Amino acid sequence: MTQLHSSPTVASEPIRLNIGCGESRRRGYIGVDARPDKGTDVIAPAWDLSHWPAGSIDEIYCRHTLEHLDPGDARRTLLAWRDALKPGGLVHLIVPDLLFHARQILGEVTSWDDDPERNFEHAIKSLYGWRAECRGGDGEDAHRWGYTEASLTELLRACGFVDIRRVQGGEDSEPWHLNVKCVRPA
Ligand SMILES: C[S@@+](CC[C@H](N)C(=O)[O-])C[C@H]1O[C@@H](n2cnc3c(N)ncnc32)[C@H](O)[C@@H]1O
Query: What's the CATH number where 49 sits?
Result: 3.40.50.150
| Any domain includes 106 | no
| Any domain includes 108 | no
| Any domain includes 104 | no
The closest residue, in CA terms, to atom 10 on ligand 1 is: 65
pLDDT recorded at residue 132: 55
| Any domain includes 118 | no
Count up the domains in the chain and report the number: 1
30 and 16 Cβ atoms separated by less than 8 Å: yes
pLDDT recorded at residue 156: 98
The closest residue, in CA terms, to atom 8 on ligand 1 is: 63
Nearest partner of 9 among 59, 84, 78, 62, judged by Cα: 59
The closest residue, in CA terms, to atom 7 on ligand 1 is: 63
- d(C-alpha 96, C-alpha 101), whole Å: 8
Low pLDDT (below 70) residues in the chain: 5-11, 132-138
| Any domain includes 72 | yes
Q: Which domain holds residue 27?
A: 2-96+140-183
Tell me the whole-structure pTM to 2 decimals.
Answer: 0.93
Tens-digit pLDDT profile for residues 139-173: 788 999 999 999 999 999 999 999 999 999 999 99
Tens-digit pLDDT profile for residues 43-54: 999 999 999 999
Nearest partner of 162 among 139, 138, 186, judged by Cα: 186
| Residues with C-beta less than 6 Å from any ligand 1 atom | 20-22, 24, 33-35, 37, 45-46, 63-65, 68-69, 134, 140
The closest residue, in CA terms, to atom 13 on ligand 1 is: 20
| Any domain includes 110 | no
